Chains A and B, each alone.
Chain A
Amino acid sequence: MDTNKNSYTFMFAIVMVVVVAFLLSFAATSLKPLQDRNIKLEKMQNILKTVGVEVTREQAEVEFSKYIKSGVVIDPTGNVIDEAKGADVEKGLAFSGDVKHAVAKKQYPIFIAEVKGETFYVIPLFGMGMWSDIWGNVALKADKNTIYGINFDHKSETAGLGAEIATEIFQKEWIGKQIMEDANGGFTDANFASVTAIKGGADPSDTHGVDAISGGTVTSVATSKMFHDRVALYLPYFNNLK
């Protein structure tokens, strides 16, 4: 067999491409349900973690319907446009909807959790880090002002630097911080102080500042911006609830 003939080369290339394409699409489609399930369970796990419920990925589904009472989608004026309760939360728009494009679609998801008699509001976060997407969830206490729990994750921030936003050490600092300038001042834009990661370290008494990551300034700034931009969307809703 002459392997240098043009016809052979073409045939070889075609057969190879078809075989590889078939193999990869077969692998991708047959593994897809498992992958999607992992992603869904991880999302539940992350939401539960912000309200202080630590579960393994396998338990996440059961515990999620137990603690997350409703998933609400609001519009920019704070009106509820979709609400799913109890076991239906995971099928509702708030959970299955696209957090990344929530702003463009003007559909902002929020979850209301009840743990040991306390109510929490969990807001999904999404933004751009230094290299790619960053995201997370923040749980506010019933006063809709104090941070109860928070988590961040990232796609490809620099390991050891920006990637540190996904660590406990950084996230712990956010707990107890307040998003409003004056706790009794109402949920207006003017009163919205957000929480910012401060380069060089925040004063421990500062209720709106946390220590930024040394060497991870761009990611720290991006995280603060994500927090500010996303949480600000829910002020009209909080105002309506009051």
Chain B
Amino acid sequence: MSDVEEKEALFSKKNRQLLINPLDSDNPITVQVLGICSALAITVKLEPAIVMSLSVLFVLSAGNVIISLMRNIIPSRIRIIVQLVVVAALVILVDQVLKAYLFDVSKQLSVFVGLIITNCIVMGRFEAFALGNTPWKSFLDGIGNSAGYGLILVVIAFIRELFGSGALMGQQVIPDSFYDAGYANNGMMLLPPMALIVVGVIIWVQRWFNPSLEEAN
């Protein structure tokens, strides 16, 4: 760690950007196109999407710090394996603790906890950021990226649950009078392909407001 870095304020402009950029201009899902798999799988309902976002928040920020602490002693030839072991160990730990202390939450998450391992964002941030930065910066980067991931997840889940099931957080929000008047839930919204289309629409809207993201061709 160099002197310059040590003197840097905890929330300097650069560090703040680590937190804020992933929410929009460097969003893991819509800009880096990572973590699409889980964005399709668990966004049928709002609640699992939120819990999944929180679990990723924990795994990514803790994992980033661990990898960053070990960054100078990890042999570069097996670094991917080391990253995999760290994320797998963290995920199993989370799963075990949930089963013992938060049984109801763990039942809701069921397979999703294991899915965190396959989340490209986690490995992506370990490799691209934590291996080359200090623990505090890596921690902020982890929080920022999982927040950016969670934001998109919640938006997709909101749209899918609202139009697919007429509900939010499991509570019906579209009044019965709508159904009586001939309104029907869009069953397509519950199927994975619609998540992809919703992601596409979000990317389109985002680039409309933020033309700097468009590739020059």
Q: Which residues of A contact B (CB under 8 A)?
A: 1, 3-4, 8-9, 12-13, 16-17, 20, 23-24, 27-28, 31, 34-35, 38, 42, 57, 155-156, 158-161, 214-215
Additional A-B contact list (10), CB under 8 Å, known A24-B93, A159-B48: A1-B73, A3-B74, A9-B77, A13-B78, A20-B89, A34-B101, A38-B99, A160-B44, A160-B190, A215-B187
Q: B85 an interface residue at 8 Å Cβ cutoff?
A: yes
Q: Give chain A residues whose Cβ lies under 8 Å from the Cβ of B45.
A: 159-160
| 8 Å CB contact of B75 from A12, A23, A158 | A12
- Residue of A4, A17, A27 near B76 (CB, 8 A) is A4
A-B contact count (CB 8 A): 69
**Residues on B facing A (Cβ under 8 Å):** 42, 44-45, 48, 72-78, 81-82, 85, 89, 92-93, 96-97, 99-101, 103, 110-111, 161, 164-165, 187, 190
Grouping DSSP codes into helix (H, G, I), strand (E, B) and loop, the B interface class, with mixed when no group exceeds half, is: helix
How far does the Cβ of A36 sit from chain B's closest Cβ, in whole Å? 9
Please determine whether A28 and B85 come into contact, CB atoms closer than 8 angstroms: no
Instruction: Tell me the bound Cα distance from A159 to B103 in angstroms.
Output: 19
Q: Complex formed: what's the CA distance from A13 to B79 in Å? A: 10
Question: Does the CB pair A35–B76 fall under 8 Å?
Answer: no
State the CA gap A242–B42 with chains docked (Å).
Answer: 49
In the docked arrangement, what's the CA distance between A190 and B108, Å? 40
Give complex CA distance A12, B85 in Å.
12
- Contact between chains at B42 and A16 (CB < 8 Å): no
Give the Cβ gap from A212 to chain B, nearest Cβ, in Å: 14
What are 9 A-B pairs at a CB distance below 8 A? A3-B73, A3-B75, A13-B81, A20-B85, A24-B92, A38-B99, A38-B103, A155-B110, A160-B161
Nearest chain A residue, comparing its CB with the CB of B44: A160
